[in-house]
Amino acid sequence: MTTLMQQEIFSEPQMIKRTIAACRPVAAQIAKAVKEKGIVKFVTLARGTSDNAATVFSFLCPLTTGIQVGKFHPSLYTVYNKAVDMKDTCMIIVSQSGMSKDTIDVFNKAKAAGAMTVAVTNNNESPVAKQADFHLFMDVEEEKSVAATKTYIGELTALALLADALGGNIGAEIDEYPEKIADILQKFDEIAVAAKGIYKEKSNIILTRGTMLGTGDECALKLTECCYMFNRAFSTANFMHGPFSLIDETANVILLAPSGVFEEEYKNLAARIKSLGGKLTVFSDIPEVLEVADNKVVMPKASDVTAPVVYGVAVSLLALNVGLAKGLKVDTPRNLNKVTVTL
């Protein structure tokens, strides 16, 4: 393995076992505190890859528990200096390092405003980890490549465990994550072939729906930062409200389409894109969708709980292989640092 990015992706099956062991008992403690403190509101604070993981949680948690999850906009505190009442609220800070100045600033103001705080990080020594009421420690070892790959899967796992503890009853599926990740790693060569089908393109439209929305955003982010392509992810439903006008013979579409409740929608959308001349790269287990693809990766069947993780690994491998096909230094994308500070 010639890159740190590949090494870190291939370490995920073992790393995620550690995440499960570290986070499951803490998640149970959080659920107990939620009941005791009368917490009724949940918000996430995150940027970049961590925000994509939070997007998955914002769909998975209400789907499995009925508990609504919102997103907190950091600039309310850091730019507008707006007082926001955080009583009866659990703020979940998702951050690989827990070290960004803006994250620490918002975290401190939220605590002062009455929030119960939960940190999801990979750094036990960070200010956020040390000062939060609870810390879901991913325990996936240091990530040395700039692109967050095992971090994303670790965050998804920690947050899924929290949803499970809050009443989601999805623990058995979470325990299958390491095995399912290992299965996707066996598709490295198949994904490399798909990558060679798109590496010369300048832009991609990424489409998916449901709990997969965060992983769609993560696919767009990884292809942007590692491969210098312009990418935009859409919900398949939102894409029909205007952006579908982008589809013609110059359009490059990546469709992340696990079977399930959206299966018919994926079938119809794939057929329509092809009828208009669009180039279609598909990750799916739906035969009718795979049949019309220009490039395809045959995925295993995955539920709403497992699909974001399984496809999350696959899109990291896609970005890795596109970057390598382009001859880029995927471990150190230009203009980027591991810890990014914004307001």
Dist CA 140 CA 123 (whole Å): 10
pLDDT at 181: 98
Short-list 321, 302, 306, CA closest to 222: 321
Q: Does domain 187-325 have CATH number 3.40.30.10?
A: no
DSSP states of 2-40: -SHHHHHHHTHHHHHHHHHHHHHHHHHHHHHHHHHHT--
State how far the alpha carbon of 20 is from the alpha carbons of 154, 204, 229, in Å: 9, 34, 34
Architecture of the domain whose range is 4-177: 3-Layer(aba) Sandwich (3.40)
Q: What is the pLDDT along the chain (343 residues), one digit of tens a residue?
A: 689 999 999 999 999 999 999 999 999 999 999 999 999 999 999 999 999 999 999 999 999 999 999 999 999 998 999 989 999 999 999 998 887 888 888 999 999 999 999 999 999 999 999 999 999 999 999 888 888 999 999 999 999 999 999 999 999 999 999 999 999 999 999 999 999 999 999 999 999 999 999 999 999 999 999 999 999 999 999 998 889 888 999 999 999 999 999 999 999 999 999 999 999 999 999 999 999 999 999 999 999 999 999 999 999 999 999 999 999 988 887 776 655 555 5
pLDDT at 330: 86
pLDDT at 340: 56
pLDDT at 102: 83
Q: What is the pTM of this model?
A: 0.95
Structure-block tokens of residue 301: 């069947």
pLDDT at 30: 98
Numbered ranges of CATH 3.40.50.10490 in the chain: 4-177, 187-325
Short-list 106, 105, 147, 99, CA closest to 123: 99
pLDDT at 336: 60
